[in-house]
Amino acid sequence: MSGRLIDISQTLRPALPVWPGDTPFDVTRTWALEPGCPVNVSRLTMSTHTGAHADAPLHYAADGADMAGVSLAPYLGLAQVIDVTACGVRRITVDDVGARLVDGVQRVILKTFPTFPHEVWVETFATPDPSLIHYLAEAGVVLIGIDAPSLDPQDSKDIPSHQAVHRAGMAILEGLVLDEVREGLYELIALPLKIAGADASPVRAVLRVLEEEVAP
């Protein structure tokens, strides 16, 4: 399938804002290209939830599958981007999304930031209400994505939206960058790494444009 690709991943770099208290990103050269060494090799230090990432069920359920054990199918296929920036920083409800959901779409990506905060950590952000997760699951949605760092508020201790996802058997993408993305249908490609024992994985997430507008 041809079509323009839109990169919706964050650039991993030492200054990347991370969840408060989580592991900062670092890349350190361990072998350097020089006489006697034919290659550059680096060591990465980072959280499994760095940048654009997929949560494994193990992140929010003690008996959940790790990243190596999840199906790849939810992370590849037709997706609908829905702009909910008008919601501000409150919970996103069925009233905000339901009437706009395209029948048969199995992947929904919520755009909550008018402009993605690349340089600072934003502690308050919009998140989907658990009732919306249930509604999407009933409609056949198998993956929910969002540009916010979490499906639940930063200070949540019971993470009800993550738990709703777990009950529904859905997949999660968080930390996407949607500044260049309009509402509509796209092909999502955002495969997580196959990491045994991991509760999440960074992804290189892209949207493939299905139809380009043609100027008259």
E strands along the chain, which residues?
A: 5-7, 26-31, 41-45, 53-55, 76-83, 91-92, 107-111, 127-128, 143-146, 171-174, 184-189, 200-202, 206-209
Q: Are 100 and 111 in contact (CB under 8 A)?
A: no
Structure tokens at 7: 């990169």
59 is catalytic: yes
Task: Give the active site residue among 49, 59, 162, 166.
Answer: 59
Give DSSP secondary structure letters for 104-149: T--EEEEE--SS--SSS--S---EE-HHHHHHHHHTT--EEEESSS
Give CA angle at 164 (121, 18), nearest 5°.
Answer: 15
Angle between helices 160-168 and 130-138 (to 10 degrees): 20
User: Can you give the C-alpha Rg of the chain in angstroms?
Assistant: 18
Structure tokens at 35: 């006489």
Catalytic residues: 59
